[in-house]
Amino acid sequence: MNDYRAVRDLLPAPPLSPEVERAGREHLNAAFAQERVRRGHRAARWSALAISLVGAAAAAAIVIAHAAPSTVPASPGAITPADGKRFLLVAAASVAAVPDEGTWWGSTEVEGRQFHEPGGRYVLRESESRQTWIPADPEGRTWYRQTPQGIKPATPQDEAAWVADGSPNSWTYDKPSEIGRLGVVRSEPGEQRTWSTEDWDFRILTAGKPLTKRNQVPETPDGLKALFAADDPTTIDTAARLLFFAPVTSETRAAAYRLLASTPGVTAVGQVTDALGRAGQAIEYESGEFAPPNYRGPTRTRLVIDPASGKPLSIETRSTADGLLLTYTAIQDTRWANSNPLKENK
């Protein structure tokens, strides 16, 4: 693996002076060295990893199917993904240098669903914003804020067709849409809700083994693969949930990127624009894990990543038949912090 070449190819820049290039290489080497040191020194005060299947927490749950354990090499080998997936290794190096200190794990997401209007002339998008604040203290309460954003045409082209249709603010479905909507669907947003629960029990459920501490989650690709003990498709889905939703360490996120880079069935898409219009690099794989419950056709899952920061941007589910975006979860922000704005402003 040539990390310098991967960074150069993915993040091109004008020619640099020898002094600037040497300083950049020294900075990158320091980041890699820091990553190795961080793997060997865990902060004992990290108490818990919160994953459950109750209520609103179900969307972010990690549930690993009980499957025959995969064979894991006794000693980890070098990861040598195809050139198109090298950006995952760049993302791993980037995220490994991100501090993970704080008493709350906060995330802000936009969750959306897309479907054709009853006549099939244009596509509608229904979305909502969601904040989640998970305490590091296993006895604490998890806080949520849900803000429905209503329904509107998905793209400028869809908006033009919507205007030609008389700019309706409701649609009646006699047959279920792609995502199962039936009856009258209205465009106006719903009411914002803020609440807290005690049902987040700080565990990963994996083949009947509860993990109650964050430092029990492996920080190497082979360690994660052994923990998941699942086939390749389930391993990919679980690694995706870990990256996007779980309050794990930076080292574990880096390991998840490397695991995706080396797992069969993951293909590179290249430069894309995600559901919120942000540029990133993407991979795709066949999966129905994140598809709408009532959707019957085959789907592919797309993960959009920002290699420079190591941040995941969005999980998107698309129809294999026509490429239609069906559902997505776009991550606007994730971070460790020492305060919870939802709790303080309640």
The string over 131-142, giving b where at least 16 C-beta atoms fall within 10 Å of a residue's C-beta and e elsewhere, is bbbbbbeeebbb
Average pLDDT over residues 4-13: 42
Structural tokens at position 105: 């794990």
0.85 cut: is pTM over it? no
pLDDT (tens digit per residue) in 76-124: 334 445 568 999 999 999 999 998 888 898 999 999 999 999 999 999 9
Average pLDDT over residues 243-256: 90
Distance CA 109, CA 327 (A): 13
Evaluate if residue 71 carries a pLDDT over 50: no
Share the mean pLDDT of the chain: 77
**Element spanning 183, H or E:** strand 183-186
162 to 110, 154, 155, 256: CA distances (angstroms): 23, 10, 10, 42
Q: What is the DSSP string of 289-307?
A: TTS-TT--S-EEEEEEEET
Identify whether the C-beta of residue 150 lies closer than 8 Å to the C-beta of residue 160.
Answer: no
Distance CA 60, CA 70 (A): 25
DSSP letter assigned to residue 313: E
Identify whether the C-beta of residue 138 lies closer than 8 Å to the C-beta of residue 130.
Answer: no
Give 323's contacts (C-beta < 8 A, 6+ positions apart).
Answer: none
Name the percent of the chain lying above pLDDT 70.
71
Average pLDDT over residues 270-293: 91
Give the total number of structural domains in the chain.
1
Identify whether the C-beta of residue 303 lies closer than 8 Å to the C-beta of residue 290.
Answer: no
Distance CA 105, CA 134 (A): 5
Of these ranges, 39-53, 189-203, 223-237, 269-283, the one predicted with the greatest mean pLDDT is 269-283
Q: Is 188 helix (H, G, I), strand (E, B) or coil?
A: coil
pLDDT (tens digit per residue) in 141-167: 889 999 999 999 999 999 999 999 999
pLDDT (tens digit per residue) in 289-342: 888 887 888 999 999 999 999 999 999 999 998 888 999 999 999 988 999 999
Give 208's contacts (C-beta < 8 A, 6+ positions apart).
Answer: 66
Tell me the residue range of the domain where 166 lies: 3-344
